Chain A
Amino acid sequence: MTDGERSSIDDVIDVYKRDVDRTLIRQRLTRSIEERLEDLMELQRFAEELRRAGRRAAAAS
């Protein structure tokens, strides 16, 4: 893409890219596809457990 083809959306994405954790990306890229999908399901389980804990805390307060 040349500068002439860039839009403000590219500039916005570049701002977000400054905060991307490239160390994490490099670590992820060492994993197999199956491991990446397993990690995603584990993250889902973790997020769901946190949501349940939040609901329990809200109900108890």
Chain B
Amino acid sequence: MTDFKALLRTLVEGGVDFILIGGAAATVHGSSRLTRDVDVVYRRTRDNIARLAAALTPYRPYLRGAPPGLPFRLDAPTVERGLNFTLTTQLGDLDLLGEIVGGGGYDALLPSTLLIRAFDIECRCLNLDRLIEVKRAAGRPKDLEALAELEAIRDEGSAEPR
């Protein structure tokens, strides 16, 4: 099970610049669909990557679905030379995305975010309109039902989440 509270707190308290996207962001906007992981777009600066690696290392991040025992380390050089990582951690599944289809990276998405507060922390979350746009851009059939729900939420006149 993914501990959304602990994962978000770990990133925030580690000083990581990130934007919550994906199913957890949909939950923030009112979706009732089950999601099992936390998806974030992280800022691709050297300092932020160092903070990201330092924050997550205690929770033993590892490549999700890969056989055990591989010499993987989520350190700064690994993140700098990669881009997107689908991980397991002791806090649950986490997708670290340097860029997303139809949205770009952190700085491109930042104007389309809102600051949310939960569990005594604050973090950035993609707004509903942009979340719908990037899900459409991803073009995955499994997202179509999720898109229908998100559009219905928008139709209901969901203002910014409380």
Contact = CB atoms under 8 A, between A and B. Distances in A.
The answer to whether A and B belong to the same complex is yes
B28 A37 contact: yes
B118 A9 contact: no
Given A16-B144, A25-B152, A33-B28, A43 B4 contact: no
B34 A43 contact: yes
Most B C-beta atoms less than 10 A away, residue of A22, A32, A36, A44: A36
A29 B1 CA distance: 24
Interface residues of A, number: 29
Contacts of A20: 148-149, 152
B110 interface: no
Nearest to B4: A37
B156 A32 contact: no
B5 interface: yes
Nearest to B136: A9
B27 A13 contact: no
A40 B149 contact: no
Contact of B149 (A9, A14, A25, A34): A25
Contacts, number: 79
B13 interface: no
B153 A29 contact: yes
* Chain B facing A: main interface SS: mixed
Contacts of A34: 118-119
Nearest to A21: B32
* Chain A facing B: main interface SS: helix
A12 interface: yes
Contact of B1 (A25, A31, A44): A44
B3 A41 contact: yes
Interface string B28-46: 1011101110000000000
B157 to A, nearest CB: 9
A36 B1 contact: no
13 contacts: A16-B144, A16-B147, A24-B32, A25-B30, A29-B153, A31-B30, A32-B118, A33-B117, A33-B161, A34-B118, A37-B119, A40-B24, A40-B34
